[in-house]
Amino acid sequence: MKFSHIFNKVLAGVLLSLGCTKMHAQQDPQYTHYMYNTININPAYAGSRGALSIFGLHRTQWVGLEGAPRTNSFSINTPLRNSKLGLGVSFVNDRLGVTEENTISVDLSYTIDLNRQGSKLSFGVKGSANMLNVEYSRLKQSTPGDPLLAVDIDNQFSPNIGAGIYWHNGKSYAGLSVPNFLENKRFDNGSIYSSMNQRMNFYLMGGHVFELNPTLKFKPAALLKVTEGAPLQADVTVNFLIHDKLTLGAAYRWDAAWSGLIGYQITDGLFIGYSYDAETTKLGRYNNGSHEVFMRFELFNRYSRVNSPRFY
C-alpha cells in the first residue's frame, strides 16, 4: 500500500476525530526562513527595518505526499513618517489535506530609542481575522453518510489578537511574542461533541552578526516555539554573508529536519532566497523534502538608506 494512501486515511481519521474528541493544540505554519519572515509571528517587527518592506514566501512541505501542507505568505510593513510607529499588513494561506485557512493580520508597533549606539526596543500588537474551510466531501469515508461529515465548513470566521516585543541594534536582535491570545474553538458543528481548540503559540527568537573580516559575516540565529499540548519546536540556523551579496547557510529543526539555505542580494532593495528541508523522521522515507522560496523588496528613503543591507 502506498504511503500516500496511509496518510489520507490518517488525515481522514484525524478530521473524523475532530467532531467527537478534544484536540488540545493547533500550531501556526512553520518557516525555515523565520529570520526574514518575523512580521508573521511578532507584530513589534513592523517598521523596524526603516523602509517600506514587501515580503512574499511560498512553502511546499513533504513534496510527493498527497495532502501535504502548502503555505503562502505575503506582507507589507513600514515605519510611519515623523513618528515612532510602524504599521504592517499580512496575509497567510495555509492548506493541509482538505482544510484551508486564510488569515489577514494588521500589526502596529511603537519603538523606543534606548541609547546612542542604536539599540531600539519595540512593542507591537496584532489583530487578525481567520477564515477556515474544510471540505469533508473530498474525504474517502470509511463509513459513508456519517452525519458529522455531512456538511462542509465554509469560511468559518474567528478573530484574534496578539502582541510582541522586539529589541535590536545594528548587529543583534531578540524577540518574544504570542501572535494569538484567544483560544478559539474550531470545527464546531454545533453538536454536543467537543471541538478542537486553538492554543496560544509562544515564540522566542534571537540572532547576532559577527564580522569575521571585511567580506565575510557570520550570523547564528534561533527560534523556540512552545504550544500547549505539542512538543517544543526549536530551530537553529547558521548563515554566512559573503561580500554583502551571497548568503549561504544551514539549519536544524530539532528532531525533525536538516535544511540548506541560500540567498542573494540582487540590489540594495531586492533580496531573494531558497531553502530545502530534508526530513529526519520516518516520514522522510515517503517524501522528497520541503521547499521554500521568498522575495523581499524594500524602498528606502534618503534618511534610512544603508550602505550594506542589514543581515536580518
Q: What is the pLDDT of residue 87?
A: 98
Q: Does the pLDDT at position 16 exceed 50?
A: no
Position 194 pLDDT exceeds 60: no
What is the full DSSP assignment across 182-202?
A: ---EES--SSSS--EEPPPEE
From residue 242, give the alpha-carbon distance in Å to each of 115, 129, 249, 304: 30, 40, 11, 23
pLDDT at 208: 95
* Least reliable range by pLDDT among 18-27, 155-164, 215-224: 18-27
The H or E element spanning position 9 is: helix 3-18
- The residue that leads in pLDDT, 53 or 185, is 53
* Rounded Cα–Cα distance for residues 297 and 260 (Å): 22
Q: Which amino acid is at 188?
A: D
Domains of the chain: 3-299 (2.40.160.40)
pTM of the model: 0.84
Q: How confident is the model at residue 120 (pLDDT cuts 50, 70, 90)?
A: very high
Averaged pLDDT score across all residues of the chain: 85
Between these two residues, 75 and 285, which has the higher pLDDT value? 75
> What share of the chain has pLDDT > 90, as a percent?
62
Calculate what percentage of the chain has a pLDDT beyond 70: 81
